[in-house]
Amino acid sequence: MSEKDSPTLAATCADEKAGRHGARPSRRRILSIIAGAGAAVLAPGVALGAGAEKGDKPPHRWRGRLLGAEAALILYHHDQEQAARAIAAVVAEVHRLERLFSLHNRNALLVRLNSGEEVARLPAAFVELLGLSERFHRLSEGRFDPTVAPLWDLHAAHFTAHPRDERGPDEEAIAAVRERIGLARLPHPRSGKPWRLPAGMKLVFNGIAQGYVTDRAVALLRRRGFRHALVNFGEYRALGTHPAARPFRLALADPSHPGAALGETVLPTDMALATSSPLAASFDEAGRFHHLIDPLSGRPAPDAPASLWVRAADATSADALSTALAVTPPAHRGRILARAAGARAWFATREGTIREIRRI
């Protein structure tokens, strides 16, 4: 998608504008990060990171959509033709990965697998993402789990039939679906044999794929010799720093007040920032049942903060950790975070302030 064809990026927006009841959720995480320039609050994609100062060379920009969310890339380089070729290569790579992991493309590998199709061999990137998912599943004590898709389907179907229900699916229905989830039930992806999901299982990578694709884009740019970029393919990651030798600065948006910021943070060299929020989408008309489902209970996490941000050394880790911590009870978040070396996390309180999650 060209920049002129891409939609205007809102300061706070859901990744998929599917609405409330009757919608089929995918990632639907609120993009509650907005780029900051000094004290200004700017929409993502309009000015990603610190704004240009007098004497700065104008950056090269791309905007479009990826995995159902707004996406943007800002690249600093003196040679316009080299930058244009690099951006074209990145766009081609992310669209290739989108054909593996998207839930928005009926021909994507993930959609085909979820429909019961068997494939002769899983692509290397798919195998790698499954392996990364298993890593964060263990780290998070089971709260990061890409096999929760049937629980989303259960809630979506329930509230399509009962949009004003205040209880949600009953325990018997949830228990029956939970028997069909769990990474341990998947066949080994490197077996060399044809691969198919077990009956009744579905996968969703919306809590990790955006970060993974962001990291692949940064790696591609680095291999081509670029040193200064900011990538936002659902999660943010810096390549180096701003060319003026200062870190990129991002404002943390107030999920309850579009266009307003609760605070700001910086992206140290090569680091990433990801976010999760229950306010991105809900299944019921009243908004009581949100899309962040705890796989251990089978229900939307009752203590999910309005927004939760994770800063980590790579976007894959930040993405997966923000998903896991958002559905983890508050008393256990510090223990999980302590297992992720170098990562930091913050959450928005009900009072509209930001607090850091302390490691335990």
What does the domain layout of the chain look like in residue ranges? 3-85+207-356
| 3-state class (DSSP) for residue 271 | coil
The helix-helix angle for 315-327 and 209-223 (nearest 10°) equals 170
- pTM (two decimals): 0.86
Q: Is the dihedral of CA 66, 181, 284, 258 positive or negative?
A: negative
Structure tokens at 247: 């870190």
In this predicted structure, the answer to whether residue 11 has a pLDDT above a threshold of 60 is no
Q: How far is residue 323's CA from residue 248's CA, in Å, rounded to a whole number? A: 23
Q: How far is residue 340's CA from residue 334's CA, in Å, rounded to a whole number? A: 10
The answer to whether 212 touches 314, Cβ cutoff 8 Å, is no
Sheet holding 229-232, edge to edge: 60-66, 69-75, 229-232, 236-239, 272-276, 308-312, 344-348, 354-356
In this predicted structure, the answer to whether residue 140 has a pLDDT above a threshold of 90 is yes
> Which residue did the predictor score with more confidence, 263 or 47?
263
Res. 57 pLDDT band, cuts 50 70 90: low
Say which CATH topology domain 3-85+207-356 has.
Answer: T-fold (3.10.520)
Average pLDDT, integer, range 311-330? 98
Q: pLDDT per residue over 26-36, tens digit each?
A: 333 333 333 33
The answer to whether 236 touches 32, Cβ cutoff 8 Å, is no
DSSP states of 91-132: HHHHHHHHHHH-SS-TTSHHHHHHTT--BSS--HHHHHHHHH
- φ, ψ for residue 295, nearest 5 deg: -65, -20
Would you give the end-to-end CA distance of the chain in angstroms? Answer: 45
Share of the chain above pLDDT 90, in %: 72
